[in-house]
């Protein structure tokens, strides 16, 4: 009986550096001059979460690629959860597209949601 063992001997390398940066702009930075602030570049995506008497939802809109995603989240979801879900759905949408852009700007009106997303992505 002949036994063959093949071993893959390589060093495991793990890069834990994030591939993204969260930048918080103030209202003044957005309105200081016409146009978009210089730190916002690449593809533009907008996210929002909202709640009405009918239920809660998340919305994602890709301005540069003219794509919209509306997600119904039911009646028991909080606005915070909807905001975070919208950001995560946007990240998923961007990552699954076959586009080579180096920069993608996700604009959200939820500071808490953006910070939460930055710690869990």
CATH of range 27-31+39-120; options 3.30.2320.50, 3.30.420.10, 1.10.10.10, 1.10.260.40? 3.30.420.10
pLDDT of residue 31: 77
> How many CB atoms neighbour CB 11 within 10 A?
4
Angle between helices 111-120 and 79-96 (to 10 degrees): 50
Overall pTM surpassing 0.75 (yes/no):
no
pLDDT of residue 120: 39
Residue ranges of the domains in the chain?
27-31+39-120
pLDDT at 78 over 90: yes
Which of 47-51, 60-64, 71-75 has the least mean pLDDT? Answer: 60-64
Name 71's Cβ contacts closer than 8 Å, sequence gap at least 6: 57, 58, 59, 60, 85, 86, 89
For 82-111, write each residue's pLDDT tens digit: 999 999 999 888 888 877 777 888 888 776
pLDDT of residue 107: 83
């Amino acid at each position: 009986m002949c036994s063959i063992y093949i071993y893959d001997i390589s060093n495991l390398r793990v890069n834990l550096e994030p591939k993204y940066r969260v930048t918080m702009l103030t209202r003044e930075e957005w309105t200081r001059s016409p146009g978009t602030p210089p730190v916002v570049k690449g593809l533009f995506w907008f996210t929002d979460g909202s709640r009405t008497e009918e239920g809660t939802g998340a919305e994602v809109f890709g301005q540069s690629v003219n794509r919209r995603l509306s997600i119904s989240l039911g009646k028991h979801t909080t606005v915070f959860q909807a905001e975070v879900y919208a950001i995560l759905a946007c990240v998923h949408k961007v990552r699954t597209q076959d586009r080579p852009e180096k920069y993608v700007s996700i604009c959200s009106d939820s500071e808490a949601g953006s910070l939460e997303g930055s710690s869990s992505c």
